[in-house]
Amino acid sequence: MREFLRQSQYLKSNQHRWLVTGCAGFIGSNLTEFLLLHNQIVIGVDNFSTGKQENLDDIKKCVGKSWSNFYFSQGDIVDPEICQNALDGVDYVLHQAALGSVPRSIKDPIISNNSNVTGFLNLIWQAKESGVKKFVFASSSSVYGDDKNLPKVEETVGNPLSPYAVTKKVNELYANVFFRTYNFPIVGIRYFNVFGKRQDPNGAYAAVIPRWVKAMAGKEGVVIFGDGETSRDFCYIKNVIEMNILAALSENESSYGEVFNCAYADRTTLNDLFKLIKDGLVNSYPHLSNFEAEYQDFRAGDITHSHACIDKANHFFGYEPEYSISKGLTEALTWYQDNI
């Protein structure tokens, strides 16, 4: 039996209290939905800087009666009191709240630092004081920076290429210090290009897959930065849920203070991604049969290639991602078409 299936079955008959920060965002809302569907009590915190009320409304529709196990608090983790109140009686923390996007951080590094570093420190301090069983936080593949080695192995990183990458690296440093100094049970997860339902296709900082889907469906232009041979390790949201649950419930104390890649462990170029999306949509949108992308210069701060080694996560947690980019897109494109 896959470890994730075993842990999922465990949750259905063993109720715990979870804090999900950023619960109205893309990843946070999917984690919240999964936990509620598996008999868990969820405390959700979001300041709606990037999260949306409509995501919470959608969770309510998906989980039915389990919605009564959800308790929402609108607030910002930069406020220590918000953190303290949210952590009351919590067993596990899944910390997703952050200001993402490399371009956004380049435009305004101060606000990114305030949310991603100050907020993070507030939360882990209060979590330590509250005595949580496990604290799992979202880091990023951007931490690898200008490291050229492929696949990316957790212990080898380069120089950060953006303020956003710096904030995530600082999170990892604080996490390791909190484990070594306070024996705090904390684990970091480096996400690699996550995609799936509830990912916002709108705005200047929208992720590539929903942005392209919306553009193709609406007969708008698609821009590829560079020559299209830039590659990413795209990771479907259900793989991310698996990784978070495994990291939280693992009793392997040697994982404390460590970070782990969360990906499918494969590379897809932007040119190939464009074709996959186009082929997946063309039956619904016949105009795409002759649709071509526009190429522009590389953007500052972007990593050229991203490809994760997931051996460490498999060894420590039994992480075995089920969804390739093709399998994930099969589900995701249906959702995007119904919701864009």
pLDDT tens per residue, range 311-330: 999 999 999 999 999 999 99
Q: Which residues have C-beta within 8 Å of that of residue 77, sequence separation ≥ 6?
A: 21, 45, 47, 83, 97, 115, 119, 120, 122, 123
pLDDT for residue 204: 62
pLDDT for residue 200: 86
For the chain, give percent helix, strand, coil, nearest 5: 50, 15, 35
Q: Which residues have C-beta within 8 Å of that of residue 256, sequence separation ≥ 6?
A: 179, 183, 184, 185, 186, 187
pLDDT for residue 269: 96
pLDDT for residue 212: 94
Handedness of CA 295, 299, 304, 307 (dihedral sign): negative
Closest CA to 102 of 170, 30, 26, 160: 160
In the DSSP assignment, the letter for residue 150 is S
pLDDT for residue 245: 98
Q: How confident is the model at residue 102 (pLDDT cuts 50, 70, 90)?
A: confident
pLDDT for residue 61: 97
- Examine the pLDDT at 331 and tell me if it is beyond 70: yes
Token pair recorded at residue 237: 């949201």
Closest CA to 233 of 167, 141, 120: 141
- Examine the pLDDT at 152 and tell me if it is beyond 90: yes
Rg for the chain (alpha carbons), in Å? 19
Dist. CA 112–CA 90, nearest whole Å: 27
pLDDT for residue 1: 62
pLDDT for residue 305: 85
Q: Which residues have C-beta within 8 Å of that of residue 319, sequence separation ≥ 6?
A: 3, 4, 242, 243, 246, 260, 262, 310, 313
- CATH architecture under which domain 3-194+236-263+309-322 falls: 3-Layer(aba) Sandwich (3.40)
List residues bridging with 295 in a β-sheet.
224
Calculate mean pLDDT across residues 55-71: 98
- Mean pLDDT taken over the chain: 94
pLDDT for residue 50: 92
Q: Which residues have C-beta within 8 Å of that of residue 22, sequence separation ≥ 6?
A: 28, 45, 46, 50, 51, 95, 96, 97, 98
Calculate mean pLDDT across residues 232-253: 97
Q: What percent of the chain has pLDDT over 70?
A: 98
- Examine the pLDDT at 238 and tell me if it is beyond 80: yes
pLDDT for residue 325: 96
Q: What is the largest CA-CA distance in the chain?
A: 60
Calculate mean pLDDT across residues 220-242: 94
Calculate mean pLDDT across residues 95-120: 91
Dist. CA 7–CA 45, nearest whole Å: 25
Token pair recorded at residue 61: 């529709």
Calculate mean pLDDT across residues 54-78: 97
Q: How confident is the model at residue 153 (pLDDT cuts 50, 70, 90)?
A: very high
In the DSSP assignment, the letter for residue 43 is E
Query: Tokens 């991602």, residue?
Result: 321
Calculate mean pLDDT across residues 246-268: 97
Active site residues: 164
Dist. CA 216–CA 231, nearest whole Å: 20
